[in-house]
Every structure is written in C-alpha cells, then in structure tokens.
A and B are shown apart, each in its own frame.
Chain A
Amino acid sequence: MQQFSEAFVSALNMIIGGDPGLGEVVLLSLEVSGSAVALALLFGLPLGAALALYRFPGRGFAIISVNALMGLPPVVIGLVVYLLLSRAGPFGVFGLLYSPGAMIIAQFLLVLPIIAALSRQHFVDLWEEYGDQLRSLGSSRIRALPTLLWEGRVNLLTVSLAGFGRAIAEVGAVMIVGGNIDHYTRIMTTAITLETSKGNLSLALGLGIVLILLSFAINAALSIARVATIRQGS
C-alpha cells in the first residue's frame, strides 16, 4: 500500500511537472489513435451510410460481418497487420513494420468496424426520420448524406469517440506492429506494460492516470456538445 501511495505521489509530480518522457509518450498516443480514428471515419461513415441506405446483394452478410468485427481482439489484428507488413509479407517493401505508420494501420482496422456498425444504426434512424422529406425535396440518397451527417452530428460524434476510446486503450495490436521502441513507437499502453514489468511503477501509474483523465475529458466534452445541441432544439 505504501508502495502504491509513493508511486501515486511521484506520478502526480511527473504529470504536474510536465515530465518530457511522459509528454512524448502521451503525444504519440494521441497522434496514432487520432490519425487512426480520422482515417476510420473517412471510410467507416460512408460504409455505415451505404449499409443503411442502399439495398444490394450481400448486404445482410456485410452487416453481420461488420457487427462481428466490432469485437475483434486487438492482438489478432496486430498479428494480421504484422504478417502483411513484415519483410516477407505482401506490403513488406514499404518497410512500415515497427513504425507509427504500422500502428495507425492496425488501429484503423480495429476502429473501422466500430465506426461502420455504430454509424449504420444512426443512419437507419436518420433516414427513417428525414428520408421521405429529403426525397420529396428532390434529394437523392447520396446528396442527402451531408445533410444526414450534419443532422446526426452529435450521435456521430459519440460514435467517433467510442472508436477513439477503443484505440487509445488497446495494447495488443500496437505492441505487435509497433514494437514499443523508445522515443519512436512507445505509447501510453505499451509503456505501462513495460514499466510495470520493470517495476517502474510511478511512470506506469502516471501514464494510467493520464489515460483516465483523457477518458474523463472526452466524456465531458461529449456531454457539453450534447447539451449545446439540445439547447439549439433537439
């Protein structure tokens, strides 16, 4: 217990004092997960919209797949991306393995099904509400998309934060494809794993606290956004 409180105090000191090692790791974490989520939104929202608004052969299977892939274990994604990016793999020539780029790819694949599956449900609801009216005004489904994105912006923000939460907290995939290289691919979760096994508990705990604070900050921002939208007239 004393060990814990000591570690806790020194962790707080590191955070308040702006420890450079800690800052570097936190920044890279945000960078990797942020890029992965941005990419996943770019592909996942159109995919979710397509699954919601269009009828095509194989649609049912696609919906089941996307839903099932939401629960994919990060280590499995890490392994697949590792095989693809390793020297002998099909994308080995790019030399991406053990780089932040590889970590972004892995987290992108992890988050993509989450964005697609969750946004699909929102697009179904949005189309239910607005579809007839928009078609009546002469809009096609594809041209309705920007309107639906804007009308459903709060819910879709929730979706992206759910994706971000998953990415920032996972350790399995980035560990395998990033390699946890100091000053290069070390992020919060892989650092916590390493520092814990090394017995460097204050750094591990400091990173843990940052992770928890991030989670609080994200949810607070979300609540504020929601209240603001309701004030505007939900």
Chain B
Amino acid sequence: MNISSILPLSAKNVSLSRDGRLVLRQINLDIFPSKRTIILGPNGAGKTTLLRLLHGLVVPDTGEVLWLGSHAGMQYRRQAMVFQRPVMLRRSVYSNVMYGLKFSGLRRSQREARTAEVLRETGLESLAKRSARKLSVGEQQRVAIARAWALGPEVLFLDEPTASLDPSATKAIERLVDFISNAGTTIVLTTQDLAQARRLAERVIFIYNGQVVEVADADSFFLSPQSPEARAFLSGELLWPGAAGMKGPRLCVG
C-alpha cells in the first residue's frame, strides 16, 4: 500500500479565527513519519481545532497545511481521524467498519476482506454483529479507531480518544494505539492527560492559547520543559487559556 510517504506534514504560519476569536495563531509545526506525536495542552488551547485543520476538515484563514510540501489535502485518503466522541452509524459493528471503506474505491470483496482482517486485528471480532449504538462509549471508540484504521492510513489523528473513559477502557484504547503505531502508522494524538502523554509520547507539541509553545522529544519535555507555560502545566498549575491577555496570570490547580 505504501507507494511513497505523504510525510512530513507541515503547518506553516497557520492562523484561524472562529466567531471573531483567534483560535490558532501563527502555528508552525512538522509531523514526521513513525513518531508518536502528542499534542498536549489544557482545555481550550486549540488542540481539537489544530487536529481538524491538519486532517483537512477546516481550512486555515491564513497560512497553509502541506503534505510532503504540496497541497494534497484529504483527497489521498492516506490519513484518517478519530473524533473525541465516537460517531456510530445505526448498524452493526461490522457494517460500521465496512462503511469506513465506502469511499475508498475498493471493490466489495476487498472491503469485506479488509473489514474481517481489521476486526480480527483490533480484537473486535466478538462484537462484530452487535448494534454499534448499543455498545459502551469505550467499545464505540475502539470501533471508531478500527474504522479509521481500516483505511490503511499512513497518519492517524486521534482527538482525545479517552477523554470520557474509565481506566480499563482507556487502557484498551491505548493498547490499540500501540498496535497501530507498531504497525508503522504515524500517530498524532491530542490529550490533556499528563499520565497518558507520558505513556504514549515520543514527541510532544505543547500548545497553549492557540500557539505552539514548545516542541520537544518526550524525554526532554518531561524532564526539563523550557517554557514557563509547559513548566506550569507539568507541575499541575493549569493556566486558563486567555490568561495571558488579562491582568496577571490566573492559576487553577488541576
């Protein structure tokens, strides 16, 4: 399937406003092959918007998102995204995963074979015939990941996939992310959960208030963060977004 890599993915001077508020300002970053990149930051920092933008669901007001230096965008389908809240169609788990391939251009027999393969690899075989909407949120999220993974993406974006899950469901998701990462897919995952970031990250992009504050390898980021914002975040003093523009920093112990 890998003809040639679509990476690195670069955002160049990307800014975006929503409802008159600057959500992302002058973002510059690169995503490299086969690294697990964690986009870390407090609530409202712009993580979700950044991910949607990299994925191609949102177009920046200024700046550009480039795949291997070109404007290829979403059309190549070599990248996929998993949303924070899983969106399940009113049909079985099997059909949900199969649906993921609907627009892939594969023949029906190929789609069926790929669906069976993915369900086996992701350990969802026993749920295949269950109605997807009746599963727990954790199970639904695993189906959503399987559905995205079925596309054979080179890059998989995951937007806080464990945000509302209990520890065991979180662990199941992280195992799945591990598996996909080990299979050679580049992972870009947002989180505000420090423990999860430590478990998963090889590289950290720390964003705060719509800006990239720090980019570092995971080890050096967690050992010796360079920016005051990252230090505050790591020490559990969560800065409210927008605090920078107000009188003195408002701190909130997280």
Contacts and interface: CB of A to CB of B under 8 A. Distances in A.
A130 to B, nearest CB: 6
Contacts of B102: 137, 139
Interface in A120-178: 129-130, 132-133, 135-139, 143, 147, 150-151
7 contacts: A135-B57, A143-B103, A229-B90, A232-B90, A232-B131, A233-B90, A233-B131
The prevalent SS among residues of A at the interface is helix
Residue among B52, B103, B134 having the largest count of chain A Cβ atoms under 10 Å:
B103
A232 B89 CA distance: 11
Contact of B89 (A136, A143, A151): A151
Given A233-B133, A233-B134, A138 B87 contact: no
Interface stretch (B27-35, B75-83, B169-177, B181-189): B75-83
Contacts of B87: 129-130, 132-133
Contacts of A136: 55, 57, 80-81, 83, 148
Interface of A: 129-130, 132-133, 135-139, 143, 147, 150-151, 229, 232-234
Interface of B: 52, 55, 57, 74, 77, 80-81, 83, 87, 89-90, 99-100, 102-104, 131-134, 147-148, 151
Nearest to B81: A136
A151 B103 CA distance: 17
B1 to A, nearest CB: 16
A136 B147 CA distance: 11
Contacts of B89: 130, 147, 151
Contacts of B74: 138
Contacts of B151: 137
A143 to B, nearest CB: 7
Contacts, number: 47
A229 to B, nearest CB: 7
A229 B91 CA distance: 11
Interface centre among A130, A132, A137, A234 (most CB of B within 10 A): A137
A150 B103 CA distance: 17
Nearest to A153: B90
Given A133-B83, A137-B102, 4 more contacts: A130-B89, A139-B103, A229-B90, A234-B133
Contacts of A139: 102-103
Contacts of A150: 90
Given A129-B87, A151-B89, A151-B90, A137 B100 contact: yes
Contacts of B132: 233
A133 B132 CA distance: 15
Given A233-B131, A233-B133, A138 B90 contact: no
Contacts of B100: 137
Contacts of A229: 90
A150 B102 CA distance: 15
B100 to A, nearest CB: 6
A127 to B, nearest CB: 12
Instruction: With a 10 A CB-CB cut-off, give which of A135, A143, A233 has the most chain B CB atoms.
Output: A233
B146 to A, nearest CB: 13
